[in-house]
Amino acid sequence: MPEHSVAADTLRHDWQREEVLALYALPFNDLLYRAHGVFRNWHDPNKVQISTLLSIKTGACSEDCAYCPQSGHYDTDIEPERLLSLEEVEQSATAAKASGASRFCMGAAWRNPTDKHLDEVIEMLGVVRNAGLETCMTLGMLSREQAQRLKAAGLDYYNHNLDTSPEFYGSIITTRTYQERLDTLEHVREAGIHVCCGGIIGMGESREDRTGLLLQLACMPSHPESVPINMLVQIKGTPLYGIEDLDPFEFVRTIAVARILMPQAYVRLSAGREGMNEQTQALCFFAGANSVFYGDTLLTAKNPAPHKDQRLFHRLGIEADQLPAPEASEPA
């Protein structure tokens, strides 16, 4: 927290459903004014943290997450791939560092890693740390022992999303329970790894469900250090393909409410930026988003091209980690 910001808002873990629904129901300007005030109290509003993603093991996943192009249950255009080699990971990490990212997040399409997988990803961790990057992994469910092994190997963050409210969850995923997700999050927290946990908006859930997700996050004994708010990326072949688009203002409201409930967290404007115009992204940054994924690809889906992001940040006067200034000759 910057020194000037003796926070007026205290960290609360007892948010009530009615309070959160009332925030959502505020006139848009009132909600953004309030969220932006909280944002300024806790953070430099002109700074954005950037993470780069790498899919270290793609596709053929046993889970049936209805949004996911990597689920083996659906016929999507994803070509399954084996676990990447150490050299491939090293190359990507070096490139991410050179392009200005501060954190490198490795994702695997697993329900959970086996202990052998864990040996392999722990080697990858060493390579990424050597490249001078903070490390993050998202590998599915973890046992208590596995979380401890990752901590001992120097993992900084673990991403494991709740995705939606407990009530809506069953219509999106049937192959693992909400409680199993909460258990993994507890193992990660207990091991002393920073928690990255959020969800997906625009899956046909109601505002009650968005509220339910944010309540779960905000009522944890410690708020996640990082809260990714993903806009559903609709992928052909998945059950959610073709669902009605969410009003972008409702997405901005969700960022604003997350910022108010979890003042200290990095709220990440995550997947879905490629389908979002720059004005909507700017509103998200005003409402309190202070982290993004940077690089041409997310795990498998498209993300804005780096030169576009550099231009956007430049136009908004936003400083993003160690990103270079945009080249005058870059295409718009």
Q: What are phi and psi of 194, to 5 degrees?
A: -65, 140
Catalytic-residue membership of 268: yes
Q: What is the CA radius of gyration of the chain?
A: 19
Do the bridges between strand 291-293 and strand 47-57 make them parallel or antiparallel, or are there none, so unpaired? Answer: parallel
Taking the alpha carbons at both ends of the chain, their separation in whole angstroms is 35
d(CA 134, CA 105): 9
Say what the alpha-carbon torsion angle 67, 184, 181, 240 is, to the nearest 10 degrees: 0
| Comparison of 227 and 256: residue with beta carbon closer to ligand DTB | 227
The site that binds ligand DTB (CB under 6 A) totals a number of residues, namely 17
Q: Which of 96, 109, 153, 188 binds ligand SF4 (CB under 6 A)?
A: 109
Of residues 271-290, which lie at the interface with ligand SAM (CB under 6 A)?
271
Residues 147, 257, 271, 289: which binds ligand DTB (CB under 6 A)? 271
Residue 65 catalytic?
yes
Which is nearest to 81 in space by CA: 300, 278, 282?
Answer: 300
Task: Give catalytic status of residue 136 as yes or no.
Answer: yes
Q: In the set 155, 195, 232, 323, which binds ligand SAM (CB under 6 A)?
A: 232
Among positions 153, 193, 299, 318, the unique one binding ligand SAM when judged by CB under 6 A:
299
Q: Alpha carbon of 74 to those of 68, 138, 164, 245: distances in Å?
A: 9, 21, 21, 21
Say how far apart CA 314 and CA 324 lie, in whole Å: 10
The yes or no reply on residue 61 touching ligand SF4 (CB under 6 A) is: yes
Distance CA 31, CA 157 (A): 30
* Closer residue to ligand DTB, CB minimum distance, 32 or 267: 267
Nearer to ligand SAM, 271 or 323 (CB): 271
284 is catalytic: no
Residues that bind ligand DTB (CB under 6 A): 53, 69, 105, 107, 138, 159, 161, 198, 228, 230, 233, 270-271, 298-301
**Residues annotated catalytic, as ranges:** 61, 65, 68, 105, 136, 196, 268
Residues that bind ligand SF4 (CB under 6 A): 61, 63, 65, 68, 70-71, 109, 111, 140
